[in-house]
Structure formats: structure tokens, C-alpha cells
């Protein structure tokens, strides 16, 4: 197992990856040590500090600079269930700057009654931003949950604002596809 920790405009970000691909992304935090704690790199022998190959770090820095980015890295989702992988695959098709509802995602995976289960799968997303769970909101326009550990709605709003979406108002100025 490998990790990379690097600074972006938004703060310190961490990546965990294996030979099979990217396994986890820690969203920006103020202190580098907090990223290490979240990745559990303090456990000797579990991780090796190594820069992630390719241009992923550059793309993540660009994302937090507010630039459009297409993430095309190999993912290691081996610890996920088949249901979680189907949900995550569906949301990876939501374009930057757009949002969809939990109901829409449930429909995309062929189970119109699975909105709550979709929410649970998104809450377990180990790769926020790469698998853009922040683009899924309630059909009413409220943010709903998020896989990040702190201030859920605030982080979701920040990520959406980076993509040009403002969901602060009660009547969103964008269509929520349901």
C-alpha cells in the first residue's frame, strides 16, 4: 500500500493507492498530520510514501484551483460491494457543474426504490471528488449527506461552488434531475 500527501490551495490532501489503483482520497485539511491520521500512515509497515504516478496530483491541485478536470485514473474498488460500485459508476457520469437527485441515481442503476440505499453507498465513497458524490443532492435542492467526515453540507457546497453550482437558496437556479 502506498500514500501521497500534498498541498493544494484548499489544504493538505492525501491519497492511498495500491498496485491496482487509487483506493482513497482525503479531502483538504489544514494540517498535514491530520491527513496522516486519516490515512493511518502512523502504522509502521502499512504504507510507503511515494508520489502517485502520472498526473493525478496535478489534476487534484487544478480541481481545487477551480479548473475543470477529467479524472481518468485507475481505481481500486476491491473492498466495495457490487451495489456500491454500481452507484459510484452511475455518479461518475454526472457532468461537472451539474447535480442529480438520489432518485435519479436509483433509476440509473435500475432500482427506482433504492434512494436511501444510494445515499448509504455514497456515504461510503472512499474517493470524493474522483467519484463525485457531492453532485448528488435531494430533489428539493437540499444538499443531503456526504462521505466527508466533517461539516457535510459545507464541504458539499464548497465542492459544488468550485464547479460553478450554488445551492444556498431555497429555490435552486439549476435543474435537479430526478
What the block records as the C-alpha cell of 173 is 437556479
d(CA 104, CA 93): 12
What the block records as the C-alpha cell of 157 is 457546497
3-state secondary structure 1-62: CEEEEEEECCEEEEEEEECCEEEEEEEEECCHHHHHHHHCCCCCCCCEECCCCCCHHHHHHH
* Annotated catalytic residue within 133, 155, 159, 167: 133
**Residue 73 appears among annotated catalytic residues:** no
d(CA 76, CA 141): 32
d(CA 45, CA 93): 37
Residues labelled catalytic? 133
Amino acid at each position: 500500500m502506498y500514500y501521497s500527501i500534498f498541498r493544494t490551495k484548499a489544504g493538505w490532501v492525501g491519497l492511498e493507492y495500491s498496485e491496482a489503483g487509487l483506493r482513497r482520497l482525503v479531502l483538504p485539511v489544514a494540517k498535514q498530520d491530520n491527513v496522516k491520521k486519516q490515512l493511518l500512515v502512523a502504522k509502521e509497515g502499512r504504507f510507503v510514501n511515494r508520489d502517485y504516478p502520472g498526473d493525478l496530483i496535478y489534476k487534484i491541485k487544478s480541481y481545487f484551483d477551480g479548473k475543470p478536470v477529467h479524472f481518468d485514473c485507475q481505481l481500486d474498488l476491491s473492498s466495495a460491494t457490487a451495489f456500491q460500485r454500481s452507484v459510484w459508476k452511475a455518479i461518475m457520469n454526472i457532468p461537472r457543474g451539474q447535480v442529480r437527485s438520489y432518485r435519479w441515481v436509483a433509476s440509473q442503476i435500475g432500482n427506482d426504490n433504492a434512494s436511501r440505499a444510494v445515499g448509504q453507498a455514497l456515504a461510503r465513497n472512499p474517493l470524493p471528488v474522483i467519484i463525485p458524490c457531492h453532485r448528488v443532492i435531494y430533489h428539493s435542492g437540499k444538499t443531503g449527506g456526504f462521505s466527508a467526515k466533517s461539516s457535510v453540507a459545507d464541504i458539499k457546497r464548497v465542492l459544488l461552488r468550485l464547479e460553478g453550482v450554488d445551492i444556498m437558496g431555497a429555490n435552486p437556479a439549476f435543474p435537479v434531475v430526478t
